Amino acid sequence: MALSVAQLYEVMTQLPDPVFILSEDGHYIEYIGGVEQQSYQDGNPLIGKRLFDVLPADKAFWVMEQVARALAGGQVQVVEYDLSPAEVEGIDAEAGPQGMQRFEGKIAPLPSLYDGKRAVAWMTRNITRQHELQLRLKRLGETDQLTGLYNRHFFFDQYHQRVQGQPLTGLIMLDLDHFKQINDRYGHQTGDRVLCRVCDCVSAQLRGEDLFVRSGGEEFLILLPQIDEGILLKVAERIRAAVAAMTPDPAPVTVSLGTTLIRPGEELSVVLARADEWLYRAKRGGRNQVAHDGDP
């Protein structure tokens, strides 16, 4: 049994996710569905209004671009975007979800003309929870859970992007001296606390653009863009001195550092091997010191 037009419209109006019918010149022609009030505000007040009358200009331009792309290509376009109810004029922003929301939009060109104009059906779905979960999982995969620093995996992912196009970039490999003795004598909980204190101390010596990661155990890497040899050595020595000056809790802590400048086009494995060699020299030389690629 085929549905009547009235029954079909009834089904459409009860869709949990909303569908906007948008004209090529940026008018809201119709609003259908969206009855899931926990996920959406009522979009009916937008019918007949222009995108530029209800959305911030940059977002209105972006929506118009997506509509034009769907109409030009004749195929469904899939996009993701952020939008807060407070940004939309004319709706009851207090009803429904609050704050910035993440949406998936599927934009389908319609075959019919509406008042002589082409149009699309913009089907939207609130994916805020899924998006936040994905971000949390991504952060878990990129960060060290003890110190909150980025991890070795993130460093490897970011290396080429952060080094490419930079005339001079420095690398510091840092290792806590005799850290096993702290764990053995005072226990791993105390050792974890010492690690976190050292990380806070080192972070305070760095710029916002520097990348400080825990590469494993008591070893850390610091990538410093736009830095020359003299400044790199000063930063490394400042880090060494700051850690050595920390209040003993429960015992004094020192670090050894190996530093090098990254040469244009160098692979990360080569750079890490060189920094590791100079870190080893700092340890072999008595620890609590900086050894630099270029020292005699």
Catalogue the active-site residues.
218
Nearest to 20 by CA among 8, 12, 28: 28
Helix 128-142 vs helix 152-163: crossing angle, to nearest 10: 90
Tokens of 172: 């510091």
The answer to whether the Cα torsion of 196, 202, 205, 211 is positive or negative is negative
Please tell me the distance from the alpha carbon of residue 217 to that of residue 105, in angstroms, as a whole number.
Answer: 44
Strands 290-292, 101-109: pairing kind: unpaired
The answer to whether the Cα torsion of 155, 156, 160, 161 is positive or negative is negative
Helix 179-186 vs helix 188-203: crossing angle, to nearest 10: 140
Q: Is 36 exposed, middle or buried (0-12, 13-18, 19+ CB in 10 A)?
A: middle
For residues 237-248, one letter each, b for 16 or more C-beta atoms within 10 angstroms of the residue's C-beta and e for the rest, the string is bebbeebeeeee
Beta-bridge partner residues of 223: 171, 211
Helix (H, G, I), strand (E, B) or coil at 74: coil
